[in-house]
Structure formats: C-alpha cells, structure tokens
Structure 1
Amino acid sequence: MDHGLRVPELDETALSGALDAFLCAAAAPDDPYLAAKRAQPATARELVRAYAKIRGALQLRQRVLDWGCRHAALSALARAEFGTDIELHGSDVCPADDYAAFHAACGLAYRRLTHPWQLPYPDAHFDTVLAGGTLEHVPNDGASLTELWRVLKPGGALLITHLPNAGSWTEFLSRRLFPAQAHQRRYALAAFCRRLLHHGFEAVAGGHHQLMPSSLPATWRRAWLAGAVERVQRLNALENVWPLRRFSATLWLIARRREGF
C-alpha cells in the first residue's frame, strides 16, 4: 500500500525520553498494565515508532480525541511535540481518577464513556482521532467506526495504531500459551481498508508494525529474556518487508472521513 503521507524526521531518542519521564511522573503501583509498560525499555521505543508512523497527520491548532486513551501515552507524545498548540481530549471506560495524574501531565480533558459505542461529543467536533490499541477491544467495532465518523470533521483523520494483525506470529503463540491475553479480534490490512469504506473512511496510508515483541508476560520477566527482547528489536526494520510483514504483530493506518466516494 502506498503510504501517501510522508512522515517528517523526528528525534525518536528525545521522544522516548519524554515518554519515559511521563510514565514515571505518576505512581500507579497496583496497575499491572502500567507495570508491564515500565518493565521493558523497548516498550517505550516501540510506542514512539508507532506514533512516528501516524504523526504526519497531526498539525498545530487541531482538536484531537484520544479514543480509548487509558493513561494517554499517545497524547503525551503529541504534547511533547506540539506543546500547547494542540487541544487534547480523551475518553475511555476507566473511572476518571484512575489515570487523572497522567491526564493532567499531558493536559488532556478526560471524559468517561458510559455507552458501548456512543461518544459524548457533538457532530464534526474533532480534527483528528487517535485510536491506539482500542478498536479490537470494543463491543461493536462497526458501530464504533460509525460513531468516530460522526464526531470527526469532514476530511478529519482517524489515526490507528496497534491494531492486531491477523497473521501475527506473536498472536499465534499468545493464543496457545496465554489465551486470556490474546486478542479475539484480528484484522488483515487490505480487508480492513475495504471495510473502512463502508463506514465512510478512506485509508490513505498504512502498513505493518512490530515484527519482534517489545514486552514480556509477567511470568516470563527474567533478566536474560529481557536482554534478548532488547537485542532482537533491530529486526523490526524488516516489519514491512514481504513476506515477513505478514507476520508482524500489528497494523497502523491513517484514514480520512469522506462525505462520499
């Protein structure tokens, strides 16, 4: 697929440092999700690489919704790059207090969701929606896509990262070794782009991401395994090389809201 939008150069080292500082800015000692994010240095670098693929659609003075934001790591990266020249909103099913310190740290206005797919925002309210690792978890992904179309302005961007790839080798292992942690809903890139059309979105850029894992299950967190994870990260350079790309863990896409085709 032609990537269409050219992502400008960015300082991944600086952004990884900013993300590390953000993740350590607030204490959440009983949160296993955040504990996993903090346990492996490669995890922050992986998130920065994912953000780098979609950041070309972000611009100054945009109003952005971080949909399914949880602790709002993608918003933190956007804030680190754009400063106060971007308006950040976030929504999720988590109680507001769970990640309030993180939301405050990146200047995000948070609203808790109370409906399986309806969003508490007016029509055509946002320039951009960030959807990082969210669509595969919602009760009805089709209804959610239709709702995202509603809250986006015409021509607005839907930026998707960490969408589970149907052919992922790590998903294959997870379903057999850690079924409770595996994704039940997985997507193929070409088929998903066609599906987006039925919900009013045109995919204008996309690809595969993360050939090698960047984190470990809690029961596997050993120093030698953690070191191995760090060493194999260089193989992610092959994540979009055919035929290896078919086995990458996730997909990323930039799609635009269209009024007609």
Structure 2
Amino acid sequence: MLTVDFGRLPVGPGHRVLDLGCGGGRHAFEVLRRGADVVAFDQDAAELEGVAAMFTAMDKAGEVPDGATSEVVTGDALAMPFPDGSFDRVIAAEVLEHIPDDMAAMREIHRVLKPGGLAAFTVPSFLPERVCWALSEDYHTTPGGHVRIYTLAELSAKLKATGLRVGPHHHAHGLHTPYWWIKCAVGVRNDDHPLAKAYHRLLVWDIMERPALTRAAEAVLNPLIGKSVVLYARKPG
C-alpha cells in the first residue's frame, strides 16, 4: 500500500533514493522495482533486518532490474550519516509526526538532497488525526507515537523555512480513516472487536483485489477524509 504517488515523484535508473524512516519498507521496495538505487534508513535495526531480507528475496525472484542496488542503514534522522547532496530523491512517509524536533529532520533532508532533487513528505491529515486524538488518549500518548497534528499550512511553512520549494499535494487512504476511528473508539489495542475485525477484512480485500468499487469510493473520500496528506517539494538548484 503506497502513499507516495510515483507519478509525481518519478524514480528510475540512475536515481539514488533515500527512504527515511522506512519502517517495513513498502516505498523502498517500489523504488527498487523501478530500477533506482535505494537506501532504506531507520532507527529500528530489527525492522531493517526484515527489509534487508525482502531486498534479497526480491533479487532472487528476479524483481530487481539490472543495475539497481539496495542497502539498509540504521541511524538518527536528526544526524544522518550521509554527505551533503547524496540523494536525487527523498521519501519521508509518516515520519515527521513522530519527531519532536521536526525542523531539524527537515533541515537534514534538505542537506542530503541534491540541488534540483525532489522529496515527498506524508503526514496524517489534520481532520482524521484530530478525531483520533479526541477519541483515544492511547492513540497519541504511546511512546514513539505521534507528537503533533499538522495542518497543511504548517507543514508547507516549515518546509519552505528550510529552503525547499513546495509543490503540489494530495490526500490518500480515505478508506482507512474510518478504520482508525473505529479502533480509537473501541480501543486501539482491541484488534478482536467485531467491528474492527470486519473493517480490517474489508481493507485487506481492497489492498489485495483493488476492485473498481472501492477505488472509486476512495477517490471520493480522499479529499474529504484521506488519512494522509502528501506534499512534494524540490531543492532549488
């Protein structure tokens, strides 16, 4: 399930791409499939082991185009171990809302991005996130969880303050917002609640089958209650 639109963030052979806070690696895997060189970066070494294993499996399955490379790097988003201008593209998907000093992370992204390079930032959308915080204290007080709710204006202003030129934006995962509202209402750890289980099955079916009905429904819901907002920016060069 991708949040970034690779039509707006084109990647391919010859591009070096950083997936910052890659988590399970969903965007890093897509970058590699498209033939770019990808660095999956995260502070969770255990999760990166799974990402590295998937990179190996993809290569053995013939899913990696000739010449494309992958690596995993453990580190801190506030002090990344890369020289200035190391990457043609940077993806920061669902990361900034976890970082207390988000401006420091944004400055690091600006630093490692090449002049003329593109970046994609995704954070939880304001309205869906505000409802989740109102419904459940556990949702936003868990250690390592979300520390802020962004408005699009705030995110744009902070990125501009680092020197990035902010471009287009869109919303994603409108079908997922009701699921999280249900989870917050019944208990974020209550995976066995019948309503939560039923909606989760719907989401899995949608992800696996991509039926036209749910695709159309999400297209309508995204501008209204899309769970994530995605903003694209360029480093002047």
What is the TM-score of this pair, normalised by structure 2?
Answer: 0.73
Count of residue correspondences: 201
Q: Equivalent of 2:53, from 101, 107, 128? A: 101
Alignment deviations for residues 193-219 of structure 1 (CA, whole Å, 9 cap, x no partner)? 222111111112212222231756452
Q: Equivalent of 1:213, from 176, 195, 219? A: 176
CA RMSD of aligned residues (A): 2.7
Aligned-partner Cα distance in 2 for 1:136–1:142:
11
Matches within 5 A, 1:142-221: 142-161=103-122, 163-168=123-128, 171-182=129-140, 183-213=146-176, 217=183, 219-221=190-192
Which letter does structure 1 place at the counterpart of 2:124? P
Distance 1:54 1:136, change over 3 A: farther
Q: Equivalent of 1:225, from 183, 199, 211? A: 199
Q: Which runs of 5+ in 2 are unaligned?
A: 59-68, 141-145, 184-188, 207-212
Q: Equivalent of 1:57, from 10, 15, 25? A: 10
Q: Equivalent of 1:255, from 216, 220, 233? A: 233
Deviation at residue 117 of structure 1 after TM alignment: 0.6
1:65–1:130 CA contact under 8 A, matched in 2: yes
Q: Which runs of 5+ in 1 are unaligned?
A: 1-46
Which letter does structure 2 place at the counterpart of 1:251? V
Aligned-partner Cα distance in 1 for 2:216–2:190:
24
Which letter does structure 1 place at the counterpart of 2:157? R
Alignment deviations for residues 159-182 of structure 1 (CA, whole Å, 9 cap, x no partner)? 123x112222xx234224443333
2:20–2:77 CA contact under 8 A, matched in 1: no
Which letter does structure 2 place at the counterpart of 1:167? L
Deviation at residue 59 of structure 1 after TM alignment: 3.4
Q: Equivalent of 1:136, from 97, 100, 119? A: 97
Distance 1:173 1:188, change over 3 A: closer
Q: Secondary structure at the match of 1:123?
A: coil
Q: Secondary structure at the match of 2:176?
A: coil
Distance 1:53 1:103, change over 3 A: closer
Could you say which residue in structure 2 is the equivalent of 1:39?
none
Matches within 5 A, 1:41-80: 47-48=1-2, 50-52=3-5, 55-80=8-33
What is the TM-score of this pair, normalised by structure 1?
Answer: 0.67
Q: Secondary structure at the match of 1:167?
A: helix
